Structure 1
Amino acid sequence: MDLNKRNHYAFIALMEPFQDPSEIDQYKRKLGFDNAGVNCSRKNWYFWRAEWEGNIILDTVQQVTIKFRINNRHYIISVVYARCNTMERLELWDELEGIVNRELFPWVIGGDFNVILNEEEKLGGLPFTQNEAIDFASFISSCALTEVQTIGSKYTWWNGRIEVECIFKRLDRILVNQDFLEEFPSSEVHHLIRQGSDHAPLHLICKSAEEIMVKPFRFLNFWRKHKNFKKIVAENWIVEFAGNPFIEFHAKMKKVKKALTGWSKEAFGNIFQQIATMEDVIKVKKDQLEIQPSASNRADLNKVETELKKFLRLEEEFWRQKAGMKWFTEGDMNTKFFHSYVKGRRKRLHIAEIVTEHGITLTSNDQIGQAALEFFGEQFQENDYVDDYAMLDHIPRCITNEENDAMCSLPTNEEVKKVVFKLKGSSACGPDGFTGHFYQDCWEIIGEDSTKMVKAFFCGQELTRFITHTNLVLLPKKETVKHFSDLRPISLSTFMNKILSRLIHERMVMVLPKLISPTQSGFVRGRSITENVLLAQEIIRDINRRAKNVNVVVKLDMAKAYDRVSWIFLTKGDPLSPTLFIIAAEVLARALNSLHKDDNFKGYGMPKWSPEINHLSYADDTILFCSGDRVSVIKMMKILKDYEAISGQMINKSKSFFYLHDKTPLIVAIRMRRLTGIRQGNFPFIYLGFPVFYGRNNSCYYEELIRKIAKRIFAWHNRFLSFGGKQILVNSVLQSLPIYMLSAMNPPKRVMEQIHQIFAKFFWGKSGGVKGKHWVAWRELCFPKEEGGIGFRSLHDINKALFAKLWWNFTVSTNSLWAGYLWNKYCKKLHPIMVNSTGASHIWRKMVTIREKVEHDIWWQIKAGNSSFWFDNWTRKGALYYTEGNMAQDEKIEVKDFTTNGVWNEHKLKEVISEEMVLHITKNIRPPISEAITDKAWWTQSMKGEFTVKSAFHNLRGKKAENEWSNYMWVNGLPYKISFFLWRVWGKRIATDDNLKRMRMQVVSKCYCCERGEMETMSHLLLTATIAQKLWKQFSSCVGININGLTLKQLIYRWWELKMSNKLDQILKAIPAIIMWELWKRRNAPRDGWITCNTDGASKGNPGQSTYGFCLRDSKGDLIYAEAQNLGITTNMEAEAKALWEALQYCIRSQLNNIQLETDSLVLKNMIYRNWRIPWELAEIMDDIHDMLGKITVNVQHIFREKATQLADFIANSAINTEGKQIFLNFQQLPSRGRKLLNIDKLQVPSFRIKTRRISNTNYNGQHD
């Protein structure tokens, strides 16, 4: 009551009020509302004001949906009180999906859903499993719903208990559709305080767009495609003075910025308004062409359509740049996808409220802005000056004077240009608004001035604010932002600033390997993040290794590592900071490495001969390895404390953990907590995105990866993608998500198959989240187009290729810390080919399974002759260990041991290998040269001899024979969806009746695209049907092809065999695909402007109790009207005729024309066309039908019930026990079963007539039991 008084709600919904429904009027008066209602389950009460005109469109046990008219605008509100049972909730999702498919109005759905989406929405109780949320997430995705920005507590329900029995969940929420977001983009949902209930009230505030700020200049990438773009830039790249290069450059940029702004308005105008205008013009031009189909009218229409396509491409480019998706470079036009992605990101980045460090909640923009300045200003504040640099004594002098001079020398013009074109042109711009694409496309105009600035900087000239100024952007680290600590500050620099930083970085990377310890793998050329993880995994796998003391692993978390480093000399957010950070962090690395020289320090138990390692780092992510010895732990913590003091860094002990073997004595854990102040964690833990564990490689370790992929796919904006868009998304993004994990892990096959299933479900799924038929197994799609696939890649093959890379690095790398560790752990004194994988880690076992295939493709070029004589492939025919029948006697023998005075010792060679091989060696292999450089390894599967994952993938993957027709099928410029359709036709993978039967689906078949009514086959539909024949003859006659007697494939081949000029040739190759695509699009769909009318009569006996039913649908399959009635006792034919009569009567009364009338009575159709004699009892009604058929345009057709008359059959049978007419004016008024039948028919999915028969039990002798 109090809440209503304070907020003056326009609508209130109560779930399970525990009151008798008869008291609702009393509550309506108390709350001050004019209208009230209760749903059929009596658990949903709702109240609304008089100014809202409400009409219930669907009332079921778990929800009630009301359509309101407010200020001549329609809105839909669904109040939900979901059941606790998963299966019962499936009915709810089905009911609600029916609403979104029919009501194209702003929609709000809220209430108690009794399910959560992810583990972050639950605190306490049993662990969350993804299976709980799959159906709910799928419903949200299929309905294109999104959540409104929430304010208040994350959880909306509490079980009322405390301590270990306490459970909090987010069971209540409010979801809205895209139309609602368009009208109220700044809406908020407040989670209010629970009072007298275990659920929190939800308060929805509908807000229109916030006040629009003056937008700064932003360079639009599509400007570059205009023919006058460079001319405008060149004309304005002039100033009337000469002086400081920075000031001159700034003045020219300002002039160009102003010129481009004005030019864009003239050259492009408002592209969105232009598109809307041209779409209206096209409608007019089409009408003119229909009235007068002249060449001039056709030319006018083509001209406007061409112009529209140009602006549609500009619109797509605009939204693509806004979306910032670098992976989406080709495919079908996906403007809606980019647009929805941008809007979703804007909503996610909007900050509605912030809780300060003092617990104060801020909601106004001014308050939040000021608090942000204070918070991040304090975070970036310089720490107190440090004068104790004793830790720097651990750093030796590493850089020579020559190297220092080279880094400080003036850059050349070519060096500057190389850096400019190396940077990403599409990356976000800085305060000046210019992207890298501007610099790269206009380099011949602005390059000279840019290079002058760079050289002036290297001469010591101070940078101006125009160059150094940055925009600070705050990106959310969590789904819900409540505190400033949930935001990650990102600096957006000007492109010129990036050029300078990249130049310095390029020069520093040459000396970084000399400066940085091998335990630091971040931002050092030649070092790998995956090798860091692999080494950590190998070390931790031996955590239970016997040692004098217990082994301990410590994972450190540095609080705001980059922000807290003492940057005395560096502008905040400089792109060079990663390189400088690892130089600063090298102080810690050197200090930790010095512990190995301390006799009192006892380290982590390592294999014999392995390098001494007590830490691994990737930038600020650090793992320490030590023993549980008290003195050793104290020494390590002393170094960490000294590092905090000198660097400004601080260890976040609340997020740092130490890890022990599960059989470690409790006293060790207690001692570690006391000495470090850090809590104990449990395996597995995440390091650099990888699960780190010891013991078995369990599938559950990869649940987060699967959840991440599923989350990407469930994003509602993905529903706007075509097949082409999906193909690009799968190849460029979805398949790249697991690659990082596969580069250093070997997940169980079950995990990769589960990911494949997710990919397949997404790719074959239809718009709106409807499940699609998987016409081809995923493994068959994972072949190149030339081999009959569509270019996807199997994760199993990718995994092999990535482990081939690991074997290459292990074999070839001479200074890799990881490779050295593995050599000493597994190989010891043996060659890797001789080592087995018994008792090894899952990584080494996988590497061993791939080694033979990889070793055969590594060729060792003999120089000094230090390659293994038996086990390295130096003969180009494989290792002699394999080719010579395992004759190896001594694995330590090297190639140079078989030479004398610089020539091959043939006698010695013949003693150990065959004469044929000796002849090959002496004739083709150059003898080793003493004192030459070491032998060089070449990867024989690539032209340059350098290992690439791509070449390994193609070498190791499964292969098929290439198809000669693939180049014609995937024609450049042809939309992917059409090429993909042709690919499906070629493999008989489209849903024609003959293909459905081939897949053991019982279908009643008839073709509705021709007058003959033959059985529908793919060949008939696309070639021999009446319309198809006319279309093929029209086009084929123009190029001299006679289609008579040709099969579909033969006809397509004839087109592909045509030889024309280059430009015309591609068009001709594409014509067959376009013809079949247009035929397929029109299959079973009425023409635009035509209405489909299905009729049916039913009789329980003949004669017997009878009914009729009919329904009318538009060209999209949406319901216009449906009717049914009980006729009493009559015959079946009379009921069929009455259904037709009533349907025609309604069409005439409603002034409906162009009717496609479909009946499942072949007798009635033949009587209408007077092919059969009309019985006397039907004479009168048939006369009326013939009269009505003359008044409107009607095409009568016989159709099987299983094809399209299911709804008419259903409503006719439903009327058997009713009185009066049953009328259905829209989709929502249909019964649940009727809605499902309409949706099935709209998807063109046939149903089946099921008959059962009794089968007696018969033994093998044919006798009954």
Structure 2
Amino acid sequence: MQGEWKDTADGVSKAFLDYYKMLLGSTSDNRTPVNKEVVQQGPVCLDHHKAILNAPYTADEVKKDLFSIPGIKAPGPDGFGSYFYKDAWHIVGDEVIAAILDMLQQGRILKEVNHTVITLIPKTKCPKDVSEFRPISCCNTIYKCITKVLCGRLRQVLPDLIMENQGGFVHGRYIVHNIMVVQDLVRHYGRKGVKPSCLMKIDLQKAYDTVVWQFLQEMLVLLDFPKQFVDMVMQCVTTPMFSLMLNGSMHGFLNPREFQFHPRCKGIGLTHLCFADDLIICSKGDYQSIYLLLQAFKLFSNTSGLKRVVDVSGFSRSMLPFKYLGVPICSKKISVAQCAHLVDKMITRIKIWSSRNLSYTARMQLVNSVLLSLHMYWAQIYVLPKGVLQDIVKICRAFLWSGHAFSHKPSNIAWDKVCSDKHTGGLGFRDVQKWNIAFMGKYVCALVKKQDNVWIRWINSVYLKDGDWWEYQPGSTASWYWKQVCNTKEQLKQFFTCADFENMPHYSVKQVYEKLLGDKPRVHWDKMVWNRLNVPKHRFICWLAVQSKLQTTDKLAKIGISQSASCLICGLDDETHQHLFFQCQYSKQIIIAVHQWIGFSIHGNLFQLVRKAGQSKASKFGKQVYFAAVGAAVYLIWRCRNTSFWDNSIPTVSQSMKDLNQMVKSRIQVVLPKHVSKRDSEWFTNL
């Protein structure tokens, strides 16, 4: 704290308390009042807005908002999360509604309700300063519900009051719109012979914690919000009591207090872009324009109490590229080097996972839900370089088949096949290149529909000038980013017409992606492999087995890894998939035992078993149980084969069937479908 090291429990506690007392207790004694004339030059609340805000609060409104709070959200200091209220609604519901309605109608909130615990999460691996912890507020559920009711009404009013150059807080406005405008804005930066221009990136210091509440109140009043609504909002933000959660216990009890345009922006009158508390301001690059811009920001700062993150060193001059909203802004095409940290993040994750000896199924889940998601934010803003996308594929492929970030081990199945849908024989992974195009297609569609947002207005002012977008071709002086959008349009033209986009109620990245993938024939075994009742780790082995892609000894012998192609269980014949699972005496006994246990009399290889079971007259649940049993049998036979090689031992058929019975029944009891007939339920219980 302020350069002084604290290493005792009391010292650490005091350091955090002092920091947050200073932060939450900041005031602005010399604050400039909000200029009424400036505010009222823009949109203000009209009668229909006031009717929405002043409408009587209802029990249905309260219940709907409370039930919309996820049950897993951390509870506040009273310990009651929303799951408690939902589960006990038949007991406490009427009293909860009455209490919330009373507070909303009276405009007063009990202090016990408006008590918040601040828990701290480190921003860095080894934090050494209190500012390196991210505060997370844990509010009481009743308070959350009150604020959700107020926000629900504000949500209907704000789109008319917030200007388009603020990219946050309004449904339908996206963070990428600001990035796209700024990316195009810097096109001529760094070149000789262009008009001088200025762009400033300003990060506001903990905007919510340091804003002066009197400024908020003045703004609401000058925007002509109803007095009762203003009073309720001020109750929510000015009356909370904060405690810090340190090492599992609460500490303290804190009371909160309170030109000329840029040469390319004149067409749409753009002076600044905001997303929440991230601010870009731009002007002509002459002294007078920059001076007026800084004076305007100083007035805003003095009025609101909001300051720049670094306020002592002044503005620093920097070069392109610079980071804005998490991505690089550059005047030249984004390079592989600028995207390197995306690949580094993947490698870092894999290094953590590599020591855990994960199964194929676990690795499949991590690739699909984590690794292929790390670059998604960038992929919805830029067409990523091919080299980056290829590196992402290489890393995902290596991790899936070897468990490491880098591997020369050959893949069992081609990556194109892996990226197919599960019903066409793949794992449902995303093809990163086609997914990138589908993401960028959203902006092609937005231009076709002539949506009303700051980026569309920018493009129309600078490039299209009310021309035909579908036939438009970019000129040689267009920015690299705009050329990417135009190139995406040309690729999508092979699959869509202009009318297709015009008739889309909502642009769906998934539907466009599926169109780019094209139609592929459906496999007949997908219901068996991806059956919900299957044990998860059995699914991947079954997926390989039905395609004859397991590394059996006959395959290993062909590529020189194994000296013998004989079956590792019986040793009587070459270990092909057909022999291993259906001709080996051990496997035959397992399959016969499974049929006797389930009560099915089906014979043949794995393909025939699946097809005949699907055509049988058994119930849907009966088929699912059968598929789960066959999947377990395939897994256990493969495990037995590996055990015979590594441990030189083979479990008996009765022991394997005992394991199979336990695996299948334990799994089904956990995920038993709700709509199972009494007859099926009794049949399963008696297995």
Q: Give, in angstroms, the shift of residue 815 of structure 1.
A: 2.0
* Counterpart among 274, 277, 291 of residue 620 in structure 1: 277
Q: Does 1:631 align with 2:288?
A: yes
Q: Does the CA-based 8 Å contact 1:533-1:687 persist in structure 2? A: yes
Question: 1:846, 1:768 → 2: CA distance?
Answer: 30
Q: Give, in angstroms, the shift of residue 372 of structure 1.
A: 1.0
Map of 1:1005 onto structure 2: 565
Q: Give, in angstroms, the shift of residue 997 of structure 1.
A: 4.6
Map of 2:578 onto structure 1: 1019
Map of 1:380 onto structure 2: 24
- Where do residues 935-974 of structure 1 align in structure 2 (5 Å cutoff)? 937-939=502-504, 945-974=505-534
Give deviations 1:429-455, integer Å, cap 9, x for gaps.
Answer: 211222222233333433322221221
Q: Does the CA-based 8 Å contact 1:530-1:744 persist in structure 2? A: yes
Q: Does 1:452 align with 2:91?
A: no
Map of 1:785 onto structure 2: 422
Give deviations 1:828-870, integer Å, cap 9, x for gaps.
Answer: 24201221134333433333234367579889xxxxxxxxxxx
Q: Secondary structure at the match of 2:136?
A: strand
Q: Structure 1: where are the runs of 5+ without partners?
A: 1-355, 576-600, 657-676, 860-871, 879-936, 940-944, 1093-1113, 1117-1153, 1155-1265
Quick check: 1028-1037 or 695-704, which moved more? 1028-1037
Question: 1:769, 1:428 → 2: CA distance?
Answer: 39
Map of 2:337 onto structure 1: 700
What is the identity percentage for the equivalent residue pairs of Structure 1 and Structure 2? 25
Q: Does 1:554 align with 2:195?
A: no
Give deviations 1:299-330, integer Å, cap 9, x for gaps.
Answer: xxxxxxxxxxxxxxxxxxxxxxxxxxxxxxxx
Q: Give, in angstroms, the shift of residue 809 of structure 1.
A: 1.7
Q: Give, in angstroms, the shift of residue 460 of structure 1.
A: 1.7
Q: What is the one-letter code of the residue matched to 2:211?
A: V
Map of 1:1071 onto structure 2: 629
Q: Secondary structure at the match of 2:135?
A: strand
- Where do residues 437-448 of structure 1 align in structure 2 (5 Å cutoff)? 437-448=83-94
Map of 1:233 onto structure 2: none
Larger radius of gyration: 1
Q: What is the one-letter code of the residue matched to 2:272?
A: H
TM-score by length of 2: 0.82
Q: What is the one-letter code of the residue matched to 2:126?
A: T
Question: 2:261, 2:326 → 1: CA distance?
Answer: 26
Map of 2:268 onto structure 1: 611
Q: Does 1:736 align with 2:373?
A: yes
> Of the two structures, which has the highest relative contact order with CA contacts closer than 8 Å and spacing of 6 or more?
2
Q: Does 1:841 align with 2:479?
A: yes
Q: Does the CA-based 8 Å contact 1:994-1:1017 persist in structure 2? A: yes
Q: What is the one-letter code of the residue matched to 1:364?
A: T
Q: Secondary structure at the match of 1:465?
A: coil
Q: What is the one-letter code of the residue matched to 1:692?
A: I
Question: 1:525, 1:1050 → 2: CA distance?
Answer: 52
Map of 2:237 onto structure 1: 571
TM-align CA RMSD = 3.2
Q: Does 1:510 align with 2:156?
A: yes
- Where do residues 725-804 of structure 1 align in structure 2 (5 Å cutoff)? 725-766=362-403, 774-804=411-441
Give deviations 1:317-364, integer Å, cap 9, x for gaps.
Answer: xxxxxxxxxxxxxxxxxxxxxxxxxxxxxxxxxxxxxxx20x221111
Q: What is the one-letter code of the residue matched to 2:452?
A: N
Q: What is the one-letter code of the residue matched to 2:483?
A: R
Map of 2:661 onto structure 1: none
Question: 2:553, 2:644 → 1: CA distance?
Answer: 19
Q: Give, in angstroms, the shift of residue 702 of structure 1.
A: 0.8
Q: Give, in angstroms, the shift of residue 466 of structure 1.
A: 2.7
Q: Secondary structure at the match of 1:790?
A: coil
Question: 1:987, 1:574 → 2: CA distance?
Answer: 62
Q: What is the one-letter code of the residue matched to 1:1078?
A: L
Give deviations 1:410-434, integer Å, cap 9, x for gaps.
Answer: 2222222222232222222211222
Q: Give, in angstroms, the shift of residue 407 of structure 1.
A: 0.9
Q: Does the CA-based 8 Å contact 1:719-1:767 persist in structure 2? A: no
Q: Call closer, same or farther: CA 1:830–1:546 in 2, change over 3 Å.
A: farther
Q: Call closer, same or farther: CA 1:636–1:722 in 2, change over 3 Å.
A: same
Q: Give, in angstroms, the shift of residue 574 of structure 1.
A: 7.7
Q: Call closer, same or farther: CA 1:815–1:1053 in 2, change over 3 Å.
A: closer
Q: Does the CA-based 8 Å contact 1:1059-1:1065 persist in structure 2? A: no
- Where do residues 806-845 of structure 1 align in structure 2 (5 Å cutoff)? 806-839=443-476, 840-845=478-483
Give deviations 1:779-818, integer Å, cap 9, x for gaps.
Answer: 2211111111011111112112111211112222442110
Map of 2:639 onto structure 1: 1081
Map of 1:153 onto structure 2: none
Map of 2:246 onto structure 1: none
- Where do residues 27-42 of structure 1 align in structure 2 (5 Å cutoff)? none
Q: What is the one-letter code of the residue matched to 1:849?
A: N
- Where do residues 280-295 of structure 1 align in structure 2 (5 Å cutoff)? none
Q: What is the one-letter code of the residue matched to 2:422?
A: K
Q: Call closer, same or farther: CA 1:721–1:446 in 2, change over 3 Å.
A: farther
Question: 1:1000, 1:744 → 2: CA distance?
Answer: 47
Q: Secondary structure at the match of 2:363?
A: helix
Q: What is the one-letter code of the residue matched to 1:538?
A: D
Question: 2:109, 2:195 → 1: CA distance?
Answer: 56
Q: Call closer, same or farther: CA 1:389–1:545 in 2, change over 3 Å.
A: farther
Give deviations 1:465-523, integer Å, cap 9, x for gaps.
Answer: 33111111112122211111111222111112111111111111211122212111111
Q: Call closer, same or farther: CA 1:767–1:573 in 2, change over 3 Å.
A: farther
Q: Secondary structure at the match of 2:448?
A: helix
Q: Does 1:464 align with 2:22?
A: no
Question: 1:429, 1:984 → 2: CA distance?
Answer: 45
Question: 1:566, 1:465 → 2: CA distance?
Answer: 21
**Count of matched residue pairs:** 611
Q: Give, in angstroms, the shift of residue 714 of structure 1.
A: 2.5
Question: 2:405, 2:466 → 1: CA distance?
Answer: 61
Quick check: 614-623 or 712-721, which moved more? 712-721
Q: Call closer, same or farther: CA 1:514–1:777 in 2, change over 3 Å.
A: same
Q: Does the CA-based 8 Å contact 1:543-1:552 persist in structure 2? A: no
Q: Does the CA-based 8 Å contact 1:389-1:646 persist in structure 2? A: yes
More helix by share: 2
Q: Secondary structure at the match of 1:362?
A: coil
Q: Secondary structure at the match of 2:262?
A: coil
Question: 2:383, 2:591 → 1: CA distance?
Answer: 53
Q: Does 1:415 align with 2:61?
A: yes
Give deviations 1:1146-1168, integer Å, cap 9, x for gaps.
Answer: xxxxxxxx9xxxxxxxxxxxxxx
Quick check: 732-741 or 366-375, which moved more? 732-741
Q: Give, in angstroms, the shift of residue 749 of structure 1.
A: 1.2
Q: Does the CA-based 8 Å contact 2:347-2:405 persist in structure 1? A: no
Q: Does 1:1062 align with 2:620?
A: yes
Q: What is the one-letter code of the residue matched to 1:571?
A: V
TM-score by length of 1: 0.46
Give deviations 1:1056-1076, integer Å, cap 9, x for gaps.
Answer: 443312322211223322211
Map of 1:652 onto structure 2: 309
* Counterpart among 538, 558, 579 of residue 184 in structure 2: 538
- Where do residues 1121-1200 of structure 1 align in structure 2 (5 Å cutoff)? none
- Where do residues 420-431 of structure 1 align in structure 2 (5 Å cutoff)? 420-431=66-77
Q: Structure 2: where are the runs of 5+ without partners?
A: 215-233, 242-258, 653-687
Give deviations 1:10-68, integer Å, cap 9, x for gaps.
Answer: xxxxxxxxxxxxxxxxxxxxxxxxxxxxxxxxxxxxxxxxxxxxxxxxxxxxxxxxxxx
Q: Does 1:642 align with 2:279?
A: no
Q: Secondary structure at the match of 2:280?
A: strand
Map of 1:987 onto structure 2: 547
Give deviations 1:1066-1099, integer Å, cap 9, x for gaps.
Answer: 1122332221111111114259xx975xxxxxxx
Question: 2:413, 2:80 → 1: CA distance?
Answer: 46
